[in-house]
Amino acid sequence: MSFQERFEELHRRHAAAELGGGDERVRRQHKAGKKTARERVDLLVDPGSFTELDKFVVHQTQDFGMAEQRIPGDGVVTGYGTVNGRLVFVFSQDFTVFGGSLSEAHAEKICKIMDQAMNVGAPVIGLNDSGGARIQDGVASLAGYAEVFERNVLASGVIPQISMIMGPCAGGAVYSPAMTDFIFMVKDTSYLFVTGPEVVKTVTHETVTQEELGGALTHTTRSGVADLAFENDVEALIELRRFMDFLPTSNRAQPPLRPTSDPSDRSEPSLETLVPSSPNKPYDMKELIAKVVDERDFFEIQPDFARNILIGFARMEGTTIGIVANQPMVLAGCLDIDSSRKAARFVRFCDCFNIPIVTFVDVPGFLPGTAQEYGAIIKHGAKLLFAFAEATVPKVTLITRKAYGGAYDVMSSKHLRGDINFAWPSAEIAVMGPKGAVEIIFRTDLGDKAAIEARTEEYREKFANPFVAASRGFIDDVILPRETRRRLCRALAMLRGKQLGNPPKKHDNIPL
């Protein structure tokens, strides 16, 4: 073959790879409301930045007529590119090729970019759209999955790993996304479950649709498995680009800096009326977040799951911060199983990747009840306590109102190595609220309404304020609400050079 013929052969091979499973299957993919693997990559990375690898890789399976069906690329597009100028590695499964199913060769391609991402320190983004293990590949495909799983685990805490579920993801295949840092889903076209509706029907006699069992709404509202649900592929990938802007490229890197014109000393007088005078009245903690972060830009994660706690990314003076905040609008902001799990994992993500944590506290305590106790709130609540306690990144805390009991300790208190702990004058920091406290310590006076009222007032005066904690140094300063942004920015700036380590160990044993 002459060089000229080889050039032509190269063109032919490129064209064959880009055709994927053929026009008819691409048409079906579009008809289902889905973009193709390559269209998705193009939407995700900066124009012209993608370098594809292993475009000519084919599977080695001979059985079931597979020898005659070798499509270059073998059902997954892999490579690297940039998102707003920063390096990312991407794999994008091609449903038009054997349903995006994972063969040994397909797995090797994914593993190759995961290894390269680890070597250079860059995130891996998986665009998942796959019928699972390639049935014709037999145990080799199971081996391939396990190779990916092992890499997911070794990469955890070293490089950010993001899964975007854009089609089926079932069986053991769900466990790779499950071990990544964030799972996003597309509404109506994606699902995640361990066993599908038919198996469920056979085993438990429940009738359930794919969407109900493992669709985007199920996982973002009920199970908490997924972090966000998007309307369609385009919205999902645009939002993913926005999300990536908050993350450092690896645990060796600092969070990206985005210049802002929002002054760090911006005063926000309206915050002075945010907390209602009645302690039982709710208010929206999101308002506080929006008013103190750069340009009101808060990227909330899991907004529809465990809504009694808020988590997400924002920036202060251009630098990414992670926010954890009780939400008094839902369950009075108390901690329960779901909110503890939700926030604990987020705190650990921030700690892995050098992202300072700002915690806003208004928490009346842990949610009481048999459902919580039987569901192991002890272990789940301990996760959040553990996560805050082990975190060595800068930790700045602000108590706006209630900080009662164990929940006070948990929410990034001074005692868990909180670096700077502020309170507003409206803060109430005590073992419990006035009513509950008086009913216990003055039980004998319970029949005497006037006496109880007097005792309650006395307790409120003495304990339901920030000054007792401030007098012990548990609160570093009591600040005016309008000055919150300035004080948080200053604290974070002061903490930029923070260095703190935990004792050497193989790893910890967080209560799971």
Q: Which residue type is seen at 445?
A: D
| Spatial distance between the Cα atoms of 310 and 323, rounded to a whole number of angstroms | 8
Q: What is the DSSP string of 183-244?
A: EEEETTT-EEESS-HHHHHHHH-----HHHHHBHHIIIIIS---SEEESSHHHHHHHHHHHH
| Cα dihedral 430, 355, 353, 217 in deg (nearest 10) | 80
75 is a contact residue toward ligand HXC (CB under 6 A): no
In the complex, the smallest distance separating the C-beta of residue 143 from ligand HXC, rounded to whole angstroms, is 9
Binding piece for ligand HXC, criterion CB under 6 A, among 1-9, 113-121, 164-172, 253-261: 164-172
From the list 172, 369, 371, 376, the catalytic residue is 172
Binding piece for ligand HXC, criterion CB under 6 A, among 107-115, 134-142, 219-227, 499-507: 134-142
Closest CA to 224 of 340, 326, 313: 340
Is 224 a known active-site residue? Answer: no
| Spatial distance between the Cα atoms of 160 and 315, rounded to a whole number of angstroms | 18
User: How many residues touch ligand HXC (CB under 6 A)?
Assistant: 16
Binding piece for ligand HXC, criterion CB under 6 A, among 166-174, 292-300, 377-385, 477-485: 166-174
173 is a contact residue toward ligand HXC (CB under 6 A): yes
| Spatial distance between the Cα atoms of 249 and 1, rounded to a whole number of angstroms | 44
131 is a contact residue toward ligand HXC (CB under 6 A): yes
| Residue number with CB closer to ligand HXC (225 or 387) | 225
| Pairing state between β 124-128 and 86-93 | parallel
Distances (CA, A) of 463 to 172, 425, 434, 460, 471: 53, 13, 8, 6, 12
| Residue number with CB closer to ligand HXC (140 or 469) | 140
Q: In this chain, which of 50, 80, 91, 98 binds ligand HXC, going by CB under 6 A? A: 98
214 is a contact residue toward ligand HXC (CB under 6 A): no
Residue 80 · residue 125 · CB < 8 Å: no
Is 450 a known active-site residue? Answer: no
Geometric angle at alpha carbon 151, from 145 and 157, rounded to 5° = 140
Beta-carbon-side half-sphere exposure of residue 497 (alpha carbons within 13 Å): 1
From the list 382, 387, 407, 430, the catalytic residue is 407
| Residue number with CB closer to ligand HXC (168 or 405) | 168
| Residue number with CB closer to ligand HXC (34 or 485) | 34
From the list 138, 157, 171, 436, the catalytic residue is 171
Q: In this chain, which of 170, 216, 237, 324 binds ligand HXC, going by CB under 6 A? A: 170
Q: In this chain, which of 29, 36, 78, 101 binds ligand HXC, going by CB under 6 A? A: 101
Q: In this chain, which of 73, 99, 328, 433 binds ligand HXC, going by CB under 6 A? A: 99
From the list 224, 406, 451, 493, the catalytic residue is 406
In the complex, the smallest distance separating the C-beta of residue 66 from ligand HXC, rounded to whole angstroms, is 9
In the complex, the smallest distance separating the C-beta of residue 102 from ligand HXC, rounded to whole angstroms, is 7
73 is a contact residue toward ligand HXC (CB under 6 A): no
Scan residues 336-355 and list those touching ligand HXC (CB under 6 A).
none
In the complex, the smallest distance separating the C-beta of residue 168 from ligand HXC, rounded to whole angstroms, is 4
b/e map 74-97, b = 16+ CB within 10 Å: bbbbbbbbbbeebbbbbbbbbbbb
Distances (CA, A) of 140 to 38, 106, 108, 193: 26, 11, 11, 22
Binding piece for ligand HXC, criterion CB under 6 A, among 126-134, 330-338, 351-359, 442-450: 126-134
| Residue number with CB closer to ligand HXC (67 or 257) | 67
Burial (0-12, 13-18, 19+ Cβ within 10 Å), 281: exposed
In the complex, the smallest distance separating the C-beta of residue 96 from ligand HXC, rounded to whole angstroms, is 8
How many C-beta neighbours within 10 Å does residue 47 have? 9
Is 407 a known active-site residue? Answer: yes
107 is a contact residue toward ligand HXC (CB under 6 A): no
Terminus-to-terminus CA distance in the chain, angstroms? Answer: 61
Binding piece for ligand HXC, criterion CB under 6 A, among 80-88, 128-136, 299-307, 444-452: 128-136
Q: In this chain, which of 34, 38, 106, 134 binds ligand HXC, going by CB under 6 A? A: 134
145 is a contact residue toward ligand HXC (CB under 6 A): yes
Phi, psi for residue 98 in degrees, rounded to 5: 50, 40
Q: Extract long-range pairs of 178-182: CB within 8 Å, 24+ residues apart.
A: 178/225, 179/149, 179/152, 179/153, 180/124, 180/126, 180/152, 181/156, 181/349, 182/227, 182/243, 182/301
Instruction: Return the H-helix or E-strand segment holding 344.
Output: helix 337-352
Residue 192 · residue 185 · CB < 8 Å: yes
Scan residues 31-60 and list those touching ligand HXC (CB under 6 A).
none
Q: In this chain, which of 17, 37, 44, 133 binds ligand HXC, going by CB under 6 A? A: 133
431 is a contact residue toward ligand HXC (CB under 6 A): no
| Cα dihedral 173, 174, 176, 180 in deg (nearest 10) | 160
Q: In this chain, which of 135, 378, 440, 446 binds ligand HXC, going by CB under 6 A? A: 135
105 is a contact residue toward ligand HXC (CB under 6 A): no
Q: In this chain, which of 16, 19, 53, 142 binds ligand HXC, going by CB under 6 A? A: 142
In the complex, the smallest distance separating the C-beta of residue 34 from ligand HXC, rounded to whole angstroms, is 10
Sheet holding 228-230, edge to edge: 51-53, 76-83, 86-93, 124-128, 161-165, 182-186, 228-230
Q: Looking at the annotation, which residues are catalytic?
A: 171-172, 406-407
**Which residue ranges make up the site for ligand HXC (CB under 6 A)?**
25, 98-99, 101, 131-135, 142, 145, 168, 170-173
